[in-house]
Structure 1
């Protein structure tokens, strides 16, 4: 049972010995997706800290 050509080539790319982690071996698209994911995670953390800060202090009544 032989592997399809496309799968065989992908296996060679992902099993190559280099310094890249597996989630970045797909090329520039993987780098873009990783950057977007990291940015959204950072935005979520900042939003959470803001939420905790605003809920922790009562607003002054004018």
Structure 2
């Protein structure tokens, strides 16, 4: 019996139309083929054209699968990258400066207030009131 996905429920149901098995019924054995040899990056495999390689200093990074180079990075983004990659023993969420420190402390305060609220709610429901 053949099955198909129902368009309404998304579950497997018995096929409503007649389906015949795929031919040939007996599968043909696959032919043995040697795997392709691994070719490492060489000059004749490079996707960088000669004109784009000579126009700017340094290697150009290309968008994968294309011959199009990435857009140039803005100077402010480069400065922010240097700031966040600096090894100054600060966690990443505090490397943005004093504003990040204020946001971190405010978030921790909200977490503590939320936990106190949860504890209060549990206490209210667990302990009956005196009448």
Please say which structure displays the higher CA radius of gyration: 2
Unaligned 5+ segments in structure 1 are: none
Higher helix share: 1
1:15 paired to 2:88? no
Residues 14-33 of structure 1: CA distance to partner in whole angstroms, max 9, x if unpaired? 00011100000000000000
Unaligned 5+ segments in structure 2 are: 1-70
For residues 58 and 12 of structure 1, the distance between their equivalents in structure 2, rounded to whole angstroms, comes to: 58
Higher strand share: 2
1:46 paired to 2:116? yes
TM-score of the superposition, structure 2-length normalised?
0.45
Taking only aligned residues, the RMSD between alpha carbons, in angstroms, comes to 0.8
Q: What does residue 57 of structure 1 align with?
A: 127
User: Deviation of residue 57 (structure 1)?
Assistant: 1.1
TM-score of the superposition, structure 1-length normalised?
0.92
Between 1 and 2, higher relative CO (CA 8 Å, sep ≥ 6) is seen in: 1
Q: Tell me the matched-pair count.
A: 61
Runs ≥4 residues deviating over 3 A: none
